Every structure is written in C-alpha cells, then in structure tokens.
Amino acid sequence: MINKNDNGLLGLYIRRAFSYFVLIFLMILCLLPFYILIINSTRAHPDIQKGFSFLPGSYFVRNFKALLADKNLPVVKGTINSFIIAGLTALLTTYFSSITAYSVHVYDFKFKKVIYSFILMIMMVPTQVTSLGFIKLIRDMKMLNSYIPLIVPSIAAPIVVFFIKQYMDAVLPLEIVEAARIDGSHEFKTFNKIVLPILKPAIAVQIIFAFTNSWNNYFIPALVLTDKDKKTLPILIAQLRSADFLKFDMGKVYMMIALSIFPIVIVYMFLSRQIVGGVAMGSVKG
C-alpha cells in the first residue's frame, strides 16, 4: 500500500518541479531578446538579413569600430549626454518625491487629502497630452536645445510620490519622527539622516525606474534638442535606423542598441544590493 505521506511528498515534488519549469521558461522568454541582440551585434549586415543564428559572429570588433568611426553619429558624446540627463533626473525625482511623500505622511494640514488626490490624478495624464504646451512654454522661456527642460521637471513625479508614500505607510511609524523631534532634530536633518536610510529599498527601485525611463526617453528630447553634440542615445539610434538604405548597417544598429543597454544593467546591478539588503533587514526586524 502507498502511504498518504508518500503521496503528499510526491505531489509536493511535482508542484515544485512544475514551478521550476514555469520559472525557467519565463526566464528564457525574458532573456531571449537580449541574447538575440548580443548575437546580432557580433554579425555582419548580410548575415543578419539571412536570419537568426544562435552562434555569435566575428564582426563584433568591426561593428564597434564602424560605430565609433561614424562622424555623423557622436556615440561617446551621446552616451555622456544620456548619463547626465538620466542620472540627474533619477536623483532629483527620487529625492524631491520622497520629501513630498514624507510631508503627506507625517504632517496634518488643511486640504491634505485633496492635494494628495490631485497628485494621484496627475498620474493619469499622459506625457504626450501636455507635450505641445510644454514645448511652447520652454520656447517662450528660450530653453530649447538645453538640458534644463529635460531634468528640472522631473522633480514633479506623482507616480514616485505615490509609490514612496505607500512604502512609508508600511515601514515608517510616526513615533520615529516624533522621537527625533524630541531629541531636537530639525525636519531636514530628520528626513536626511533618519528617514532616507529607512527608505533605501524604495529609493533604489525608483532610481532604477527613473534612470531607465529617462535613458530610454526619445519623444521629449527629440523635440527639445537640436544640436548634434547635445543629442541623447535614443535620438542617435533613431537617426541610425533612418539612414539611407544603401548606407544602412544592421550590425551597427544592434551594436549601438547593445551599448545603450549596458549602463542600465550596471545601474540595476549596483542598486539591487540595496533592494535585497533592505528586504533582508526588514525580514530580520519583522
């Protein structure tokens, strides 16, 4: 006779094996586009036109040199421009959104719920809807072809405020803030020295999202930036893809897209430690 415990263990092993199978399948689906991108960046344009290959080619160095040798495509300058815009955008977005969420979470003031609801309503407005008025405004302010319109407006990020406010509700009791006030700590010191370290996991997540969104942003920078030396990588990639058919090189396109992805991966790998460390710390405290 088969023991009921054996049946239970067998069912547990089957469910676990099925879960692993599903996770591995999803992982392959997620990583396959990146694998195709890396493989095609090592192949020549005629080879790419023939179809996909699981084996890398021998044109990685040639595609890289051809990309850097293109005088109409300042890749290095575009990478630096994207780093400046995306880095400052991520820092400003997370810091000022954290301050806004902190004020909503800690203070009781008149029309608090109305103001917070208004912030949430702004999340529903797409960027494309306000782009025409935004471009007209910065044209009147003579800020076209400048990084300021791409960086400073990131201070107002309703979705980041919402996310950090929800995180504060879970991990930041008001007693901590009250204790700091009793000890004589002023508000900015309390926020910078006590609250921000508690919010490290949430801030790390939002820095990753904000950096990625700004790094991949094409629509607004394409409308604002006109100088070749100030353009970002997404604009340069679009220019490369829209080149003359006789000069079009898919190897260079894949190489440039691959190079544009590496900084995002590096930022994620660096900040993921903060996420894992914060979650582990929270589980120990719990």
As given in the structure block, the two tokens for residue 103 are 């004020």
| Together in a domain, 129 and 17 | no
Please give the Cα distance from 274 to 212 (Å, whole number): 17
User: DSSP for the chain?
Assistant: ---HHHHHHHHHHHHHHHHHHHHHHHHHHHHHHHHHHHHHTTS-HHHHHH---SS--S-HHHHHHHHHH-TT--HHHHHHHHHHHHHHHHHHHHHHHHHHHHHHHH---TTHHHHHHHHHHHTTS-HHHHHHHHHHHHHHTT-TT-SHHHHGGGG--HHHHHHHHHHHHHH--HHHHHHHHHTT--HHHHIIIIIHHHTHHHHHHHHHHHHHHHHH--HHHHHH--SGGG--HHHHHHHHHTS-GGG--HHHHHHHHHHHHHHHHHHHHHHHHHHHHHHHHHHHH-
Mean pLDDT of 13-17: 86
* pLDDT average, residue stretch 178-193: 88
**Are residues 108 and 15 both part of a single domain?**
no
Containing 163, the helix (H) or strand (E) segment is helix 158-171
Domain count along the chain: 2
Average pLDDT for residues 146-173, to the nearest whole number? 89
Same domain, 75 and 182: yes
50 and 71 in a common domain: no
Radius of gyration of the chain (CA): 24
pLDDT at residue 54, rounded to an integer: 83
207-235 confidence digits (pLDDT tens):
988 999 999 998 889 889 888 888 999 98
- Structure-token pair, residue 66: 């051809």
Do 78 and 168 lie in one domain? The reply is yes
Choose among 155, 141, 130, 152: nearest CA to 219.
130
78 in Cβ contact with 231 (< 8 Å):
yes
Q: For residues 55 and 73, state if they share a domain.
A: no
For tokens 């547990």, the residue is: 12
Q: Which domain holds residue 21?
A: 4-59
Among residues 190, 199, 118, 191, the alpha carbon closest in space to that of 156 is found at: 118
Shared domain check, 176 and 280: yes
Share of the chain above pLDDT 90, in %: 18
Tokens of 120: 């949430």
Torsion of CA 9, 12, 18, 21, to 10 degrees: -80
Residues 22 and 83 in one domain: no
Same domain for 178 and 203? yes
Look at residue 285 in the predicted model and tell me its pLDDT: 43
On the question of pLDDT at 4 being above 70, the answer is no
What per-residue confidence (pLDDT) applies to 280? Answer: 45
Single residue among 23, 44, 59 that ends a domain in this structure? 59
Phi/psi at 5 (nearest 5 deg)? -65, -35
Average the pLDDT over each of 7-16, 156-165, 187-196, 241-250 and give the range with the smallest value. 241-250
Mark whether 227 and 104 lie in a shared domain: yes
| 3-state per-residue secondary structure call for 200-241 | HHHHHHHHHHHHHHHHHCCHHHHHHCCCHHHCCHHHHHHHHH
**Is residue 59 helix, strand or coil?**
coil
Query: Does pLDDT of 283 surpass 50?
Result: no
Mark whether 188 and 55 lie in a shared domain. Answer: no
CATH code of the domain in which 125 resides: 1.10.3720.10
Task: Write down the pLDDT at residue 244.
Answer: 58
- Tens of pLDDT, residue by residue over 18-53, are 999 999 999 999 889 889 889 998 988 888 888 888
pTM for the complete prediction?
Answer: 0.83
Give the pLDDT score at 25. Answer: 94
82-137 per-position pLDDT tens digit: 999 999 999 999 999 999 999 888 888 888 888 888 888 888 887 777 888 888 88
Phi-psi region of 228 (alpha: psi -120 to 50; beta: other; left: phi over 0): alpha
**20 plus 110 within the same structural domain:** no
Mean pLDDT of the chain: 84
